[in-house]
């Protein structure tokens, strides 16, 4: 029997019609039966990162998020591009997950990134900056495929499924490669930690 793989989706937007949230839900529909992709909610309720809140003052929302992400096998981040970069919501989520220093749950975590926009560039500038951030967090970031979902407003059907065939193949490849990376990460764990 194939082992269940649990992936969390982080959307960098809470806009009601967010293309990036839509993209994560579409990815969830494309995942094979042994892979579950759950889109995280409520990230906009975290405070802005502030070291004063670490330790005794840690907000419950942060503690809960760290625990949930720490228990996951991998992450897919889909952020809108604002001003050639990722959203503050994306960055804030990553910053909280990256601390405390050297104990953050993003370290060694398999991560895939993507992003959707109405324009043709599909968040390429934002994703480039995000790769630098995820290098800092010591995450295992998938290099390929690079998935820049341009013209995204026209790529979902009424049920929210991804309707563009070439793009859909890339999304499936993104999940496949992330799953492979997760499996490789597990194989490298000491056997008592692999589960």
Q: Which is nearer to a copy of itself, 112 or 171 (CB)?
A: 112
From 61, 129, 177, 185, residue interacting with a copy of itself (rule: CB under 8 A): 129
From 88, 107, 173, 188, residue interacting with a copy of itself (rule: CB under 8 A): 88
Q: Which is nearer to a copy of itself, 30 or 49 (CB)?
A: 49
Q: Is it true that the peptide bond before 143 is cis, omega within 30 degrees of 0?
A: no
Q: CA 136, CA 194: separation in Å to the nearest integer?
A: 25
Q: CA 187, CA 169: separation in Å to the nearest integer?
A: 27
Least CB distance to a copy of itself at residue 153 (A): 13
Q: Which residue has the tokens 């990460």?
A: 185
Residue 114 β-bridge partners: 78, 147
Measured CA distances, 81 to 134, 167, 188, 193 (Å): 16, 19, 34, 37
148 near a copy of itself, judged by CB under 8 A: no
Using the contact rule CB under 8 A, the part of the chain among 30-38, 81-89, 161-169, 177-185 near a copy of itself is 81-89
Q: Which is nearer to a copy of itself, 138 or 177 (CB)?
A: 138
100 near a copy of itself, judged by CB under 8 A: no
Q: Which is nearer to a copy of itself, 66 or 91 (CB)?
A: 91
Residue 141 β-bridge partners: 111
11 near a copy of itself, judged by CB under 8 A: no
Q: CA 9, CA 112: separation in Å to the nearest integer?
A: 10
89 near a copy of itself, judged by CB under 8 A: yes
Q: Which residue has the tokens 């999940």?
A: 175
Residues 41-70 that bind a copy of itself (CB under 8 A): 44, 47-52
123 near a copy of itself, judged by CB under 8 A: no
| Dihedral (CA of 13, 42, 170, 104) sign | positive
Using the contact rule CB under 8 A, the part of the chain among 59-67, 94-102, 108-116, 165-173 near a copy of itself is 94-102
185 near a copy of itself, judged by CB under 8 A: no
Tokens for 47, please give them. 């405070």
């Amino acid at each position: 029997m194939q082992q269940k793989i649990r992936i969390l989706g982080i959307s960098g937007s809470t806009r009601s019609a967010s293309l990036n949230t839509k993209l994560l839900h579409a990815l969830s529909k494309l995942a094979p039966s042994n892979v579950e992709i759950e889109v995280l909610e409520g990230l906009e309720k975290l405070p802005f990162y502030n070291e004063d809140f670490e330790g005794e003052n840690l907000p419950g929302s942060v503690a809960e998020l760290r625990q949930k992400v720490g228990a996951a096998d991998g992450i897919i981040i889909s952020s809108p591009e604002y001003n050639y970069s990722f959203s503050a919501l994306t960055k804030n989520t990553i910053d909280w997950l990256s601390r405390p220093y050297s104990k953050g749950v993003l370290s060694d975590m398999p991560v895939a990134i993507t992003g959707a926009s109405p324009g043709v560039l599909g968040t390429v500038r934002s994703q480039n900056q995000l790769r630098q951030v995820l290098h800092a967090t010591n995450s295992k970031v998938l290099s390929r495929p690079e998935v820049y979902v341009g013209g995204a407003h026209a790529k979902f059907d009424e049920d929210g499924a991804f309707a563009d065939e070439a793009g859909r193949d890339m999304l499936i490849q993104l999940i496949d490669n992330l799953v492979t990376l997760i499996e490789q990460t597990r194989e490298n764990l000491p056997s008592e930690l692999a589960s």
